[in-house]
C-alpha cells in the first residue's frame, strides 16, 4: 500500500521514498556514530556487537552526553552534511541499531541533507535521545522532497499512510504531535479503496 501511495504522489520533480523508521534514525545514527560506538566500560564485550550493550539502559545517553553534544554541534555550522556522508561511506554495511543500510542509498541521503533543515533534524534527534529504545519506532512511512517549494516553506514533507480500518498507534501520535510542535511538515494519508467500476 505504501508503494502504491509512492507511485500516486511521486513525480520526477517531487520524488517520494519509503523510509519508515529508517531515514531519521539513520541520519541520527550516522551523525552520532562516534558517541553510539564510544568504547566505554561495559559497552562492548566482543567485536561482533551490533550496538552497545547498554543501549536500553536509562543511563545510555547520560554516559555519553558530551559526545552526543559534540556530534549535534555540527548541526549549527553545517559540518553535519559531510560528517553523515563520510560515515555512510566509511562504515557501509557495519551493524548499527540505528542505521538500516538497505534503505539508505546515497541519492536518498543527498536529497534529505539538501531539503531537511538542520533545525528539524536537531528537533528529531533530541527526541530520539530522550528515549532511544522507544522513539526509534513510530516515524512516518514516506518522505516526499519538494524541490519547487517556495523558499519560505520546507522543501519536504513526511507522510504516514493508513489504510482502511487502520488507526494511528500511540508512538505515531506522539511523533506527529512533536512534528506539529516543531513546525516539521507531516501529514497522514488515509487510503480508501475505489469501488470496482465494473461492479464485479
Q: What are 83-122's pLDDT values in tens digits?
A: 999 999 999 999 999 999 999 999 999 999 999 999 999 9
Q: Concatenated DSSP letters for 61-85?
A: HHHHHHHHHHHHTHHHHTHHHHHHH
Q: What are 151-179's pLDDT values in tens digits?
A: 557 899 999 999 888 899 999 999 999 99
Domains of the chain by start residue, with CATH = 1-21+137-200 (3.40.1350.10), 22-133 (no CATH)
Report whether pLDDT(196) > 60. Answer: no
The pLDDT assigned to 150 comes to 58
Sign of the C-alpha dihedral, residues 64, 65, 66, 68? positive
Give the global pTM: 0.91
Amino acid at each position: 500500500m505504501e508503494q502504491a501511495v509512492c507511485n500516486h504522489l511521486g513525480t520526477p520533480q517531487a520524488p517520494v521514498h519509503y523510509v519508515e523508521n529508517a531515514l531519521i534514525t539513520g541520519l541520527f545514527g550516522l551523525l552520532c556514530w562516534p558517541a553510539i560506538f564510544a568504547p566505554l566500560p561495559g559497552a562492548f564485550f566482543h567485536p561482533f556487537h551490533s550496538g552497545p550493550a547498554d543501549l536500553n539502559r536509562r543511563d545510555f545517553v547520560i554516559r555519553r552526553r558530551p559526545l552526543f553534544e559534540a556530534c549535534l554541534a555540527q548541526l549549527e555550522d553545517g559540518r553535519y552534511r559531510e560528517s553523515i556522508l563520510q560515515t555512510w561511506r566509511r562504515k557501509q554495511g557495519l551493524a548499527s541499531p540505528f542505521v538500516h543500510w538497505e534503505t539508505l542509498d546515497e541519492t536518498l541521503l543527498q536529497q534529505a541533507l539538501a531539503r531537511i533543515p538542520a533545525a528539524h533534524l536537531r528537533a528529531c534527534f533530541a527526541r530520539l535521545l530522550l528515549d532511544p529504545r522507544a522513539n526509534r519506532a513510530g516515524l512516518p512511512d514516506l518522505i516526499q522532497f519538494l524541490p519547487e517549494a517556495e523558499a519560505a516553506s520546507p522543501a519536504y514533507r513526511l507522510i504516514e499512510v493508513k489504510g482502511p480500518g487502520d488507526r494511528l498507534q500511540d508512538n505515531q501520535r506522539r511523533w506527529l504531535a512533536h512534528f506539529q510542535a516543531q513546525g516539521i511538515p507531516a501529514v497522514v494519508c488515509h487510503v480508501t479503496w475505489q469501488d470496482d467500476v465494473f461492479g464485479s
